[in-house]
Amino acid sequence: MVLVGVVLVAGEGTRLRPLTYTLPKPLIPIMGKPLVIRAVEGLRDNGIHDFYVVIGHLGFLFKQALGDGSNLGVRVRYVEQRERLGIAHAIHRAIEEGANGELVVYLGDNYFGEGVGRFIREFEEGDYDVYIVLTKHRDPTRFGNAVINEGRVVRLIEKPREPPPNSYVVTGIYMFRDPDDVKRAFKTLKPSARGEYEITELIQWFIDNGRRVGYTITNSWWKDTGTPQDILDLVYLMLDAVEPRVEGEVRGVVNGRVIIERGAVVEGVVHGPAYVGPGSIISKDTVIEHYVDVESNVVISGGALSRSLVLNDARLELGRARVVDSIIGPRSTIRLERGRHTLIIGEGNLIMSMDWA
Protein backbone atom coordinates (compact mmCIF):
# COMPACT_ATOMS: atom_id res chain seq x y z
CA MET A 1 0.00 0.00 0.00
CA VAL A 2 1.08 3.56 -0.66
CA LEU A 3 2.04 5.90 2.17
CA VAL A 4 -0.55 8.60 2.90
CA GLY A 5 0.09 11.62 5.10
CA VAL A 6 -2.60 12.74 7.54
CA VAL A 7 -1.71 16.12 9.04
CA LEU A 8 -3.83 17.25 11.97
CA VAL A 9 -4.26 21.01 12.45
CA ALA A 10 -7.82 21.36 13.78
CA GLY A 11 -6.96 22.42 17.34
CA GLU A 12 -7.69 25.86 18.73
CA GLY A 13 -4.37 26.40 20.54
CA THR A 14 -6.05 27.81 23.63
CA ARG A 15 -2.83 27.96 25.67
CA LEU A 16 -1.32 30.28 23.05
CA ARG A 17 -4.06 32.87 23.13
CA PRO A 18 -4.25 35.74 22.25
CA LEU A 19 -1.88 34.85 19.41
CA THR A 20 -4.02 31.94 18.21
CA TYR A 21 -7.26 33.92 18.06
CA THR A 22 -6.25 34.80 14.49
CA LEU A 23 -3.19 32.63 13.76
CA PRO A 24 -3.35 28.84 14.31
CA LYS A 25 -0.28 27.27 15.95
CA PRO A 26 0.83 25.31 12.87
CA LEU A 27 0.87 28.51 10.79
CA ILE A 28 3.27 30.32 13.12
CA PRO A 29 6.42 30.85 11.05
CA ILE A 30 9.86 30.12 12.40
CA MET A 31 12.84 31.20 10.31
CA GLY A 32 10.56 32.13 7.44
CA LYS A 33 8.41 29.02 7.19
CA PRO A 34 5.21 27.92 8.99
CA LEU A 35 5.40 24.70 11.01
CA VAL A 36 2.74 22.96 8.91
CA ILE A 37 4.74 23.54 5.72
CA ARG A 38 7.84 22.18 7.40
CA ALA A 39 5.78 19.12 8.36
CA VAL A 40 4.50 18.52 4.83
CA GLU A 41 7.96 19.03 3.33
CA GLY A 42 9.54 16.62 5.81
CA LEU A 43 7.00 13.92 4.98
CA ARG A 44 7.25 14.64 1.24
CA ASP A 45 11.01 14.24 1.32
CA ASN A 46 10.47 10.76 2.74
CA GLY A 47 8.18 9.49 0.02
CA ILE A 48 4.74 10.84 0.91
CA HIS A 49 2.96 12.82 -1.80
CA ASP A 50 -0.71 12.31 -0.96
CA PHE A 51 -2.00 14.31 2.03
CA TYR A 52 -5.20 14.73 3.98
CA VAL A 53 -5.12 17.85 6.16
CA VAL A 54 -7.71 17.78 8.95
CA ILE A 55 -8.82 21.34 9.63
CA GLY A 56 -11.15 23.03 12.11
CA HIS A 57 -10.32 26.31 13.82
CA LEU A 58 -9.55 28.96 11.14
CA GLY A 59 -9.35 26.20 8.54
CA PHE A 60 -9.51 28.62 5.61
CA LEU A 61 -6.06 29.92 6.55
CA PHE A 62 -4.57 26.47 5.94
CA LYS A 63 -6.22 26.36 2.53
CA GLN A 64 -4.62 29.71 1.75
CA ALA A 65 -1.19 28.55 2.95
CA LEU A 66 -1.12 25.08 1.37
CA GLY A 67 -3.58 25.35 -1.51
CA ASP A 68 -3.85 22.08 -3.39
CA GLY A 69 -0.25 21.26 -2.51
CA SER A 70 1.10 21.71 -6.02
CA ASN A 71 3.55 24.41 -4.94
CA LEU A 72 5.09 21.84 -2.60
CA GLY A 73 5.01 19.00 -5.13
CA VAL A 74 2.24 17.10 -3.33
CA ARG A 75 -1.54 16.67 -3.43
CA VAL A 76 -3.49 18.09 -0.51
CA ARG A 77 -7.12 17.38 0.30
CA TYR A 78 -8.94 18.88 3.26
CA VAL A 79 -11.10 17.18 5.86
CA GLU A 80 -13.21 19.14 8.34
CA GLN A 81 -13.40 18.21 12.00
CA ARG A 82 -16.25 20.44 13.08
CA GLU A 83 -16.07 19.57 16.78
CA ARG A 84 -13.06 19.12 19.05
CA LEU A 85 -13.43 15.37 19.47
CA GLY A 86 -9.78 14.37 19.70
CA ILE A 87 -6.94 12.94 17.64
CA ALA A 88 -8.49 9.51 17.14
CA HIS A 89 -11.64 11.13 15.76
CA ALA A 90 -9.59 13.34 13.42
CA ILE A 91 -7.82 10.26 12.03
CA HIS A 92 -11.16 8.50 11.56
CA ARG A 93 -12.52 11.56 9.73
CA ALA A 94 -9.61 11.40 7.27
CA ILE A 95 -10.32 7.72 6.61
CA GLU A 96 -14.02 8.51 6.11
CA GLU A 97 -13.01 11.07 3.48
CA GLY A 98 -10.86 8.63 1.53
CA ALA A 99 -7.44 8.32 3.22
CA ASN A 100 -6.59 4.79 2.11
CA GLY A 101 -3.07 3.47 2.50
CA GLU A 102 -0.42 3.14 5.14
CA LEU A 103 -1.18 6.17 7.27
CA VAL A 104 1.50 8.46 8.63
CA VAL A 105 -0.34 10.76 11.02
CA TYR A 106 1.50 13.92 12.04
CA LEU A 107 0.44 16.64 14.46
CA GLY A 108 1.00 19.87 12.54
CA ASP A 109 2.39 21.78 15.53
CA ASN A 110 5.14 19.24 16.27
CA TYR A 111 8.79 19.27 15.23
CA PHE A 112 11.51 16.62 15.47
CA GLY A 113 15.15 17.59 15.62
CA GLU A 114 16.22 14.46 13.74
CA GLY A 115 13.47 14.71 11.11
CA VAL A 116 11.03 11.89 10.38
CA GLY A 117 12.91 9.77 7.84
CA ARG A 118 14.15 7.13 10.29
CA PHE A 119 10.72 6.68 11.82
CA ILE A 120 9.01 6.08 8.48
CA ARG A 121 11.76 3.73 7.31
CA GLU A 122 11.59 1.62 10.48
CA PHE A 123 7.79 1.45 10.23
CA GLU A 124 8.02 0.23 6.65
CA GLU A 125 10.82 -2.28 7.26
CA GLY A 126 9.44 -3.60 10.55
CA ASP A 127 6.08 -4.78 9.26
CA TYR A 128 4.31 -3.23 12.24
CA ASP A 129 0.57 -2.66 12.45
CA VAL A 130 1.18 0.51 14.47
CA TYR A 131 4.38 2.45 15.06
CA ILE A 132 4.91 5.26 17.56
CA VAL A 133 7.79 7.52 18.52
CA LEU A 134 8.59 8.06 22.19
CA THR A 135 10.74 10.37 24.26
CA LYS A 136 11.36 11.56 27.80
CA HIS A 137 9.88 14.91 28.88
CA ARG A 138 10.21 17.11 31.93
CA ASP A 139 6.41 17.21 32.29
CA PRO A 140 4.99 13.86 31.13
CA THR A 141 1.57 14.66 32.62
CA ARG A 142 0.88 16.90 29.59
CA PHE A 143 0.97 13.97 27.14
CA GLY A 144 0.00 10.39 26.53
CA ASN A 145 2.41 7.94 28.16
CA ALA A 146 3.54 4.53 26.89
CA VAL A 147 4.60 1.84 29.37
CA ILE A 148 7.43 -0.36 28.07
CA ASN A 149 8.07 -3.85 29.42
CA GLU A 150 10.76 -6.16 28.01
CA GLY A 151 10.97 -4.14 24.80
CA ARG A 152 7.23 -4.09 24.18
CA VAL A 153 4.56 -1.41 24.46
CA VAL A 154 2.14 -2.91 26.97
CA ARG A 155 -0.05 0.02 27.96
CA LEU A 156 -0.88 3.57 26.94
CA ILE A 157 -2.27 6.15 29.37
CA GLU A 158 -3.59 9.59 28.43
CA LYS A 159 -2.13 12.44 30.54
CA PRO A 160 -1.58 10.48 33.77
CA ARG A 161 -1.48 12.44 37.01
CA GLU A 162 1.35 10.18 38.17
CA PRO A 163 3.32 8.71 35.24
CA PRO A 164 4.08 5.02 35.86
CA PRO A 165 7.62 3.61 35.98
CA ASN A 166 9.22 2.61 32.67
CA SER A 167 7.02 5.03 30.77
CA TYR A 168 7.80 7.44 27.96
CA VAL A 169 5.91 10.33 26.41
CA VAL A 170 4.15 9.58 23.13
CA THR A 171 5.13 12.19 20.53
CA GLY A 172 3.01 13.56 17.69
CA ILE A 173 3.61 11.02 14.91
CA TYR A 174 1.63 7.77 14.60
CA MET A 175 1.76 5.20 11.79
CA PHE A 176 -0.94 2.67 10.93
CA ARG A 177 -0.63 -0.18 8.43
CA ASP A 178 -4.32 -0.74 7.66
CA PRO A 179 -7.06 1.93 7.74
CA ASP A 180 -9.69 -0.80 8.12
CA ASP A 181 -8.12 -1.77 11.45
CA VAL A 182 -8.26 1.85 12.54
CA LYS A 183 -11.97 1.95 11.72
CA ARG A 184 -12.54 -1.24 13.72
CA ALA A 185 -10.65 0.18 16.67
CA PHE A 186 -12.46 3.52 16.53
CA LYS A 187 -15.87 1.84 16.69
CA THR A 188 -14.96 0.49 20.14
CA LEU A 189 -14.01 3.87 21.61
CA LYS A 190 -16.01 6.10 23.88
CA PRO A 191 -15.25 9.76 24.63
CA SER A 192 -12.92 10.32 27.56
CA ALA A 193 -13.71 12.48 30.58
CA ARG A 194 -12.68 15.53 28.56
CA GLY A 195 -15.03 14.58 25.73
CA GLU A 196 -12.45 13.39 23.22
CA TYR A 197 -11.64 10.14 21.46
CA GLU A 198 -8.08 9.61 22.65
CA ILE A 199 -5.23 8.40 20.44
CA THR A 200 -3.89 6.38 23.37
CA GLU A 201 -7.13 4.40 23.56
CA LEU A 202 -7.08 3.84 19.80
CA ILE A 203 -3.58 2.37 19.94
CA GLN A 204 -4.43 0.39 23.08
CA TRP A 205 -6.99 -1.52 20.98
CA PHE A 206 -4.15 -2.77 18.77
CA ILE A 207 -2.18 -3.88 21.85
CA ASP A 208 -5.17 -5.63 23.38
CA ASN A 209 -5.93 -7.43 20.12
CA GLY A 210 -2.44 -8.83 19.66
CA ARG A 211 -1.36 -6.57 16.82
CA ARG A 212 2.27 -5.58 16.34
CA VAL A 213 2.81 -2.20 17.97
CA GLY A 214 6.37 -1.03 17.39
CA TYR A 215 8.16 1.95 18.81
CA THR A 216 11.38 3.89 18.76
CA ILE A 217 12.84 6.56 21.02
CA THR A 218 13.85 9.69 19.19
CA ASN A 219 17.60 10.26 19.36
CA SER A 220 17.24 14.04 19.26
CA TRP A 221 14.90 16.68 20.64
CA TRP A 222 11.17 16.95 20.05
CA LYS A 223 8.88 19.92 20.54
CA ASP A 224 5.13 20.08 20.87
CA THR A 225 4.34 23.78 20.61
CA GLY A 226 1.48 23.93 23.08
CA THR A 227 2.57 26.98 25.08
CA PRO A 228 4.40 30.25 24.41
CA GLN A 229 7.50 28.84 26.09
CA ASP A 230 7.33 25.80 23.80
CA ILE A 231 7.31 28.11 20.77
CA LEU A 232 10.30 30.02 22.11
CA ASP A 233 12.14 26.79 22.96
CA LEU A 234 11.65 25.63 19.36
CA VAL A 235 13.03 28.95 18.09
CA TYR A 236 16.14 28.46 20.26
CA LEU A 237 16.63 24.86 19.15
CA MET A 238 16.26 25.66 15.47
CA LEU A 239 18.53 28.69 15.69
CA ASP A 240 21.15 26.50 17.37
CA ALA A 241 21.44 24.61 14.08
CA VAL A 242 21.68 27.54 11.65
CA GLU A 243 24.54 28.02 9.26
CA PRO A 244 25.41 31.70 8.70
CA ARG A 245 24.05 33.19 5.50
CA VAL A 246 23.95 36.88 4.58
CA GLU A 247 21.97 37.83 1.49
CA GLY A 248 20.58 41.15 2.71
CA GLU A 249 22.36 44.47 3.25
CA VAL A 250 24.57 44.89 6.33
CA ARG A 251 25.50 48.45 7.17
CA GLY A 252 26.01 47.73 10.86
CA VAL A 253 27.59 44.75 12.65
CA VAL A 254 26.72 41.05 12.43
CA ASN A 255 28.40 38.64 14.86
CA GLY A 256 28.26 34.86 14.85
CA ARG A 257 25.79 32.53 13.16
CA VAL A 258 23.21 34.83 11.62
CA ILE A 259 20.88 34.53 8.64
CA ILE A 260 20.06 37.83 6.93
CA GLU A 261 17.54 37.17 4.17
CA ARG A 262 17.50 38.98 0.82
CA GLY A 263 15.82 42.39 1.13
CA ALA A 264 16.61 42.79 4.83
CA VAL A 265 18.68 45.74 6.05
CA VAL A 266 20.80 45.68 9.20
CA GLU A 267 22.03 49.08 10.38
CA GLY A 268 22.40 48.14 14.04
CA VAL A 269 24.03 45.14 15.73
CA VAL A 270 22.92 41.52 15.42
CA HIS A 271 24.45 38.81 17.60
CA GLY A 272 23.88 35.22 16.53
CA PRO A 273 22.36 32.82 16.51
CA ALA A 274 19.65 34.96 14.95
CA TYR A 275 17.40 35.21 11.92
CA VAL A 276 16.31 38.38 10.09
CA GLY A 277 13.63 37.82 7.47
CA PRO A 278 13.14 39.43 4.06
CA GLY A 279 12.17 43.09 4.06
CA SER A 280 12.96 43.61 7.74
CA ILE A 281 14.93 46.61 8.98
CA ILE A 282 17.11 46.62 12.10
CA SER A 283 17.83 50.30 12.73
CA LYS A 284 21.26 51.67 13.67
CA ASP A 285 20.39 52.21 17.33
CA THR A 286 19.08 48.64 17.81
CA VAL A 287 20.82 45.60 19.30
CA ILE A 288 19.51 42.14 18.42
CA GLU A 289 20.89 39.80 21.03
CA HIS A 290 21.14 36.00 20.86
CA TYR A 291 18.24 33.69 19.91
CA VAL A 292 16.03 36.18 18.14
CA ASP A 293 13.85 35.36 15.12
CA VAL A 294 12.64 38.44 13.24
CA GLU A 295 10.22 37.41 10.49
CA SER A 296 9.43 39.36 7.30
CA ASN A 297 8.81 43.11 6.89
CA VAL A 298 9.47 43.93 10.54
CA VAL A 299 10.91 47.32 11.56
CA ILE A 300 12.79 47.59 14.86
CA SER A 301 14.22 50.89 16.04
CA GLY A 302 16.06 51.46 19.31
CA GLY A 303 16.47 49.26 22.34
CA ALA A 304 17.46 45.61 22.55
CA LEU A 305 15.73 42.31 21.80
CA SER A 306 16.69 38.92 23.22
CA ARG A 307 15.30 35.34 23.07
CA SER A 308 12.20 36.42 21.16
CA LEU A 309 10.06 35.81 18.07
CA VAL A 310 8.73 38.79 16.13
CA LEU A 311 6.15 37.93 13.48
CA ASN A 312 5.46 39.50 10.09
CA ASP A 313 4.87 43.24 9.65
CA ALA A 314 5.36 44.17 13.30
CA ARG A 315 6.75 47.58 14.31
CA LEU A 316 8.89 47.95 17.43
CA GLU A 317 10.00 51.35 18.71
CA LEU A 318 11.95 50.45 21.82
CA GLY A 319 13.79 53.59 22.92
CA ARG A 320 16.09 52.35 25.69
CA ALA A 321 13.90 49.36 26.54
CA ARG A 322 14.91 45.70 26.46
CA VAL A 323 12.40 43.06 25.30
CA VAL A 324 13.12 39.45 26.31
CA ASP A 325 11.40 36.05 26.13
CA SER A 326 8.61 37.51 24.00
CA ILE A 327 6.35 36.65 21.08
CA ILE A 328 5.10 39.66 19.12
CA GLY A 329 2.09 38.97 16.90
CA PRO A 330 1.91 39.98 13.25
CA ARG A 331 1.04 43.58 12.35
CA SER A 332 1.43 44.69 15.96
CA THR A 333 3.02 47.93 17.10
CA ILE A 334 5.14 48.19 20.27
CA ARG A 335 6.21 51.57 21.62
CA LEU A 336 8.35 51.52 24.74
CA GLU A 337 10.73 53.99 26.32
CA ARG A 338 12.69 52.12 28.98
CA GLY A 339 12.75 49.07 31.24
CA ARG A 340 12.75 45.31 30.73
CA HIS A 341 9.63 43.77 29.19
CA THR A 342 8.26 40.30 28.39
CA LEU A 343 5.28 40.34 26.01
CA ILE A 344 3.02 37.68 24.49
CA ILE A 345 0.65 39.53 22.18
CA GLY A 346 -1.62 38.65 19.28
CA GLU A 347 -2.19 40.11 15.86
CA GLY A 348 -2.68 43.82 15.24
CA ASN A 349 -2.20 45.00 18.82
CA LEU A 350 -0.85 48.35 19.96
CA ILE A 351 1.28 48.32 23.14
CA MET A 352 2.51 51.69 24.48
CA SER A 353 4.38 52.55 27.65
CA MET A 354 3.15 55.47 29.74
CA ASP A 355 6.01 57.53 28.37
CA TRP A 356 4.30 57.42 24.95
CA ALA A 357 0.76 58.04 26.17
**Which residues constitute the domain of residue 9?**
3-226
DSSP H helices in 227-355: 228-240
> Residue 50: which CATH number?
3.90.550.10
Closest CA to 9 of 78, 112, 96: 78
Residue 233 lies in a domain: no
- Residues of 259-292 as b/e, b for ≥16 C-beta within 10 angstroms? bbbebbbbbbbbbbbbbbbbbbbbbebbbbbbbb
Please tell me the total count of domains within the chain. 2
Query: Are 192 and 43 within one domain?
Result: yes
Banded pLDDT at 13 (limits 50, 70, 90) = low
Domain endpoint, select from 202, 226, 250 = 226
CATH number (domain holding residue 345): 2.160.10.10
Rounded to two decimals, the pTM is 0.89
Q: Which residues, including other chains, have CB under 8 Å from residue 294's CB and lie 6 or more apart? A: 274, 275, 276, 277, 280, 282, 288, 300, 305, 310
State whether 59 and 205 are in the same domain: yes
Structure confidence at residue 315 (pLDDT):
96
Same domain, 222 and 261: no
Q: pLDDT (tens digit, 9 = 90+) per residue, 174-212?
A: 999 999 999 998 888 887 878 888 888 899 999 999 899
pLDDT digits (tens, 9 = 90+) for 294-331: 999 999 999 999 999 999 999 999 999 999 999 999 99
